[in-house]
Amino acid sequence: MLLDYFHDDVAAAWNANWKELAQAGLDQSIIDSFIRQRASSNPQRELEKLERLRVQVITIRDNAYPSLLKEISNAPTVLYVAGTLKKEEDSFALGIVGTRKVSAYGRQVTEQFARGLAQGNVTVVSGLAHGIDAIAHTTALDAGGRTIAVMASGLDIIYPSENTGLARRIVESGQGALLTEFPLGVKPDSKNFPARNRIISGLSQGILVTEAPKQSGALITANFALEHGREVFAVPNGIYAMGSVGVNKLIQDGAHLVTDVQDILMSLNLFMIPEHIEMQVALPDNEEEGALLPLLSHDPLHIDEIIRISELPTMTVTSTLMMMEMKGMIKQISPMQYILAR
């Protein structure tokens, strides 16, 4: 690796001459390509653009680089990240992939599994595409969980554009991140999607395919998972459904047949994730917080129900919930709906 030769001195590697690059072990074609790209690049301008877009650059040598992804043989050297990666929490992750042309059944099972995983503190990873991907991301956010969207383009080019709002929500919610190995300005070329799929697999302890026809790109992701030594899960469907062919073939080939999120949690031993993560949990500071905290769980509860069950005055409940949210004890995931924080 180039940085090995230059002892992690990025500036020295960038400014190296032809002879030094050859001594670093690069072949002639790579050196020529590197020098051409360097001549047409303006690092300072690129850095300013990254800062303006609040994009973080993480190299494989950085401590923030995802642990699971580093394990695969073809891990990307550089990642571009917008939003929030949490190395420990995101090491408990599962990829959910499937068809863009989702059926009512596919939507239902994807929502069921994404919600269950998110409520179980498992980060949901997908590819920000139409259909299954978007449903998985959205459901994880709605459930108060974390999600990572892996892109086949630069972070300044959201594809498909219809998911721009979802991408913004992932970043601004603090519940996840957009991630890619492609620099700013790179368009979503067809060859980029298999590369993206290997990252989805690399970030995940396993891959769940909820609905996929015979030629679905989700099957490519499943194949990467097998290459990476990760588990593959598939939700069965009727033999006459178009979206069943791919998943049923995966099951025939040895994928785990799953009908409930507990099947996945048990297979990957993910039942007690909070015990694996060192977390500082805020304790109740007063009687009101002590009365409200036991009422909340990872299932949303409306403030009207909280008031009814607690039998506390409305103003007391409202002000106490506000303080608990500020302390990070609870989250408001939709208007007046509250859950326990992670």
Domains 89-274 and 287-340 share a fold: no
Hey, which CATH number is domain 287-340, 3.90.550.10, 1.10.10.10, 3.40.50.10860, 3.30.2350.10? Answer: 1.10.10.10
* Paired strand residues for 234: 209, 257
Whether the Cβ atoms of residue 212 and residue 251 lie closer than 8 Å to each other: no
The residue type found at 278 is E
CA quadruple 27, 32, 34, 35: dihedral sign: positive
Which residues lie closer than 8 Å to 28 by C-beta, 6 or more apart? 22
Q: In what order do the strands lie in the sheet with 301-302?
A: 301-302, 337-340, 330-334
Asked if 102 contacts 246 with a C-beta cutoff of 8 angstroms, the reply is no
For the chain, the C-alpha Rg in angstroms (whole number) is 22
The pLDDT tens digits for 77-104 are 899 999 999 988 999 999 999 999 999 9
C-alpha to C-alpha distance for 307 and 30, rounded to whole angstroms: 66
In the Cβ-directed half-sphere of 137, how many Cα atoms lie within 13 Å? 26
What are 226's two structure tokens?
Answer: 């097998």
The conformation of residue 91, written as its DSSP 8-state character, comes to: G
Name which of 224, 211, 215, 212 is nearest 150 in CA terms.
224
Other C-beta atoms closer than 10 Å to the C-beta of 62 total 11
CA gap 105, 188 in Å, rounded:
29
Q: Which of 216, 214, 185 is nearest to 55 (CA)?
A: 185
Say yes or no to pLDDT of 278 above 50. Answer: no
288-335 confidence digits (pLDDT tens): 999 999 998 877 899 999 999 999 999 999 999 998 888 878 888 778
Question: Each residue of 253-266: pLDDT tens digit?
Answer: 899 999 999 999 98
Sheet bearing 206-211, strands edge to edge? 56-59, 78-83, 176-180, 147-150, 123-126, 93-98, 206-211, 231-234, 256-257
Domain ranges of the chain: 1-41, 89-274, 287-340
In this prediction the pTM is 0.72
Contacts of 1 (CB under 8 A, 6+ apart): 77
pLDDT digits (tens, 9 = 90+) for 190-220: 999 999 999 999 999 999 999 998 888 898 9
CATH topology of domain 89-274: Rossmann fold (3.40.50)
CA distances (Å), origin 329, targets 7, 199, 283, 332: 44, 32, 8, 10
